[in-house]
Amino acid sequence: MIRRDFLRAAAAGAVVSVLPACGRSDAVPQSPVDFVAGKPLPWINWSGNQSCTPALRLAPASEAELVDALKRASGVVRAVGASHSFSAVVPTDGTLIATDLLSGLVGHDAASLQAEIWAGTRMHALGPLLHGVGQALPNMPDMDYPAMGGAIVNSVHGTGQRYGSMSSYVTALTLATPSGELIDCSASKRSEIFHAARTSVGALGIVSRMTLQNDKPFRLVETTRIEKTEDVLAELAQRCAAHRNFEFLPLPHSTLAVTVASDLAGPNDAPSGEDDPEAVNSLRTLLQAVGWMPGIGEAAYDKLLTTFLAGGAAQVRVGHSFDVFPHVRVVRFREMEYTVPAESGPDCVREILRTIRERKLPIAFPLEYRYVKADEIWLSMFEGRDGCSISVHQYGDTDHRAYFAEIEPIFWKYQGRPHWGKLHTLDAARLAALYPRHWKDFHEVRRSLDPQGRMMNAHLKHIFGV
């Protein structure tokens, strides 16, 4: 509590460091469009950096209604779940189909620990639903807002050396195509569609339901510590192997990192400490207070963090897996994430931190580093290789473009694949080179299901070369 109060109180009236296009800017507002009475209702994503004004909004409550919606849709058709994607995967001026009413449990099998769910089910609702039938997702990301359909098509993931992305848990799915056909597929039934649809960026149609391979319910103990970044990097392989789930968040302009390790909870594990969802705002306030000082700003910032944060007691959370995995998000931000080959992860994150420091980028938002197991899904970021997913963030009221432009070439140097739902600048030619085994296979399936390109908004045309 003392450490948190210090961070919050540090330096009221801070002076902002200046870097062209990295400071607060009216060019990137929290809400990019205003609602005008009598005009169509605009759609805006969670981050506030994507928007559109669709001519038609539909919310089917059944597969029959979904099929009908696709048949009568006009213009470009896009699906929307929780609106959590930072990239422009949703915007359309044609038809926007919300999946919110396609929600809930379809059925389950106690023997196989499989459950069929509607694709509009939000992740935060899915945990209790599965718990009620004696099942649990094997892994989850650190936020539970997305709809499962969106999580699958964008390959949302958590962390853990033995665990793949959310898409890898799907054993079968039903796809509603742009022509209004319903296709059931799995690894043994229309397998080419199945391998394409599990990570498709919504280019094939709209997933209506899916079957998940689950585990029995389990409890977790999550331990969060402040540690030296280089100590963590030196022991990274051992940490990832020793814990069920492990991630760390290096603090720019500091020698410190936040580590988060989760393991199966024992009978004597008890919670302690308190999560602080406002901590990233406190870091910004502190950097603004001292970072401007010529020649000593970053050193002063690191010294203050080390003095008041290092060596403190760990924070411990204990509970059902679906309660422990996610963390509350109250600070709006923009995010870019690339997945590099696992063996390249430490060198890549070191270079990012060094670049921020040497170029004096005024960045306080922590990086995020997670490990994800390889899969065989055609356009998954983890196709054919274990990956380390490294994220950079910028506050939602601050222009992210100059910062991301400085860092993105580092990811390219390490053969990084961008997260489909997060910001990046790659086009079809460069993306094709990152997916040499199945890029052409995916597009053969896409053209067969959507020959007229009805699912192709401007962003998808750019990344897929349509």
- The DSSP element (H or E) to which 80 belongs, if any, is strand 77-80
Residue 159 inside a domain? The answer is yes
- Given pLDDT bands bounded at 50, 70 and 90, which one contains residue 461? very high
CA pair distance 242, 296, nearest whole angstrom: 38
DSSP code of 226?
Answer: E
Rounded alpha-carbon distances, angstroms, from residue 464 to 74, 304, 344, 428, 437: 22, 47, 27, 5, 15
| Mean residue pLDDT across the chain | 92
**CATH number of the domain to which 187 belongs:** 3.30.465.10
* Whether pTM exceeds 0.85: yes
Residue 457 inside a domain? The answer is no
Give percent of the chain above pLDDT 70.
Answer: 92
Mean pLDDT lowest among 120-124, 142-146, 247-251, 300-304: 300-304
Q: Are 420 and 426 in contact (CB under 8 A)?
A: no
CA pair distance 265, 232, nearest whole angstrom: 23
CA pair distance 446, 422, nearest whole angstrom: 22
Residue 152 inside a domain? The answer is yes
Rounded alpha-carbon distances, angstroms, from residue 68 to 60, 205, 447, 448: 9, 13, 21, 20
Residue 286, pLDDT score? 87
Higher-pLDDT residue of 237 and 15 is 237
CA pair distance 18, 361, nearest whole angstrom: 9
Rounded alpha-carbon distances, angstroms, from residue 26 to 34, 49, 364, 396, 423: 14, 12, 20, 11, 19
Amino acid identity at 312: G
CA pair distance 435, 430, nearest whole angstrom: 9
- Given pLDDT bands bounded at 50, 70 and 90, which one contains residue 95? very high
Interstrand relation of 245-250 and 256-264 (parallel, antiparallel or unpaired): antiparallel
Predicted confidence (pLDDT) per residue in 398-439, tens digit: 999 999 999 999 999 999 999 999 999 999 999 999 999 999
Say which residue the tokens 């391998």 belong to. Answer: 195
List beta partners, residue 223.
261, 316
Mean pLDDT lowest among 32-36, 76-80, 86-90, 346-350: 32-36
294 contact partners, CB below 8 Å, separation of at least 6: none
Predicted confidence (pLDDT) per residue in 342-365, tens digit: 999 999 999 999 999 999 999 999
- Given pLDDT bands bounded at 50, 70 and 90, which one contains residue 30? low
Residue 200 inside a domain? The answer is yes
Predicted confidence (pLDDT) per residue in 182-226, tens digit: 999 999 999 999 999 999 999 999 999 999 999 999 999 999 999
Residue 166 inside a domain? The answer is yes
Is pLDDT above 60 for 445?
A: yes
CA pair distance 11, 285, nearest whole angstrom: 7
Amino acid identity at 443: H
Interstrand relation of 170-176 and 219-228 (parallel, antiparallel or unpaired): unpaired
Report the first-to-last Cα separation within the chain, whole angstroms. Answer: 54
Comparing CA positions, the residue from 161, 43, 25 lying closest to residue 92 is 43
Amino acid identity at 199: T
Say which residue the tokens 């079809």 belong to. Answer: 428
| Helix pair angle (2-9, 297-309), 10° resolution | 160
Amino acid identity at 56: L
Residue 36, pLDDT score? 81
Domain region containing 117: 105-216
Residue 141 inside a domain? The answer is yes
Residue 125 inside a domain? The answer is yes
Number of structural domains (the chain) is: 1
Q: Are 244 and 225 in contact (CB under 8 A)?
A: no
Q: Are 3 and 310 in contact (CB under 8 A)?
A: no
Residue 421 inside a domain? The answer is no
Residue 276, pLDDT score? 81
Residue 278, pLDDT score? 83
